[in-house]
Amino acid sequence: MTKTPDPIADFTQKATETAMKLTQLSMEQGEQMLKLQMNAMRGMLNDSVSAAHALLEARDPQQWSALQESNMRDMTQRLTEYSQSIQELSGKNQKVIGEVMETRLNAMNEQCQTLVDAMAAAAPPGSAPAFNAMKQSLTAANLLIDTMSKAAQQVAKSTKSTIKGAADAAKGGKRST
């Protein structure tokens, strides 16, 4: 009797590898996010100190008011850039995680198809309609997953477009002042 590979053990091993990869990606994203936040906070603190010094040196109310307005524009600019950086980082990480998950789902699909084919080959005569129904169910499930994946990508693109539009509007609003 030949020993066949255990499909459940193979499935578990690949799922564990995927989970480890996702954990690693999450940790990398956390590090990147922390670095981004620290740089933004450092920049805002430096801007605040510079602004405070400039305001202390103001000699008249008009100069003080102009400095205050300039400081607000600079802070708005920095916050807009920070927001865009967060969006870009999140988008990149979402894409990478999506690719990992898509690869894993495709591999799982192939494993299921192979398992159904092996079961159909070993099944007693007359059971072909049941296995055809299983194959059709797998095909329908794959189409549903594909449709949901495309819808999620559309939502992500729409969200990115909306955020970019808001950032561009904020930049445009600054220029007019």
Question: Mind giving me the DSSP string for 42-78?
Answer: HHHHHHHHHHHHHHHT--SHHHHHHHHHHHHHHHHHH
What is the DSSP secondary structure assignment for residue 3, as one 8-state letter? Answer: P
Give, in order, the Cα–Cα distances in Å from 64 to each of 76, 77, 103, 176: 18, 20, 58, 20
For 164, phi then psi, to 5°, come to -60, -40
The predicted-structure confidence for 61-119, as pLDDT tens digits, reads as follows 899 899 999 999 999 988 888 988 988 898 888 888 888 888 888 888 888 888 888 88
The token pair that represents 36 in the structure block: 């981004």
Give percent of the chain above pLDDT 70.
Answer: 92
pLDDT at 177 (0 to 100): 40
Rounded to the nearest angstrom, the gap between the alpha carbon of residue 61 and the centroid of all alpha carbons in its chain is 47
* Mean pLDDT estimate for the chain: 84
Full-model pTM: 0.65
The predicted-structure confidence for 10-20, as pLDDT tens digits, reads as follows 878 888 998 99
Give the pLDDT mean for 28-51.
92
Reported as type and span, the H/E element at residue 13 is helix 7-56
State the sign of the Cα–Cα–Cα–Cα dihedral 153, 158, 161, 166.
negative
pLDDT greater than 90 at residue 23: yes
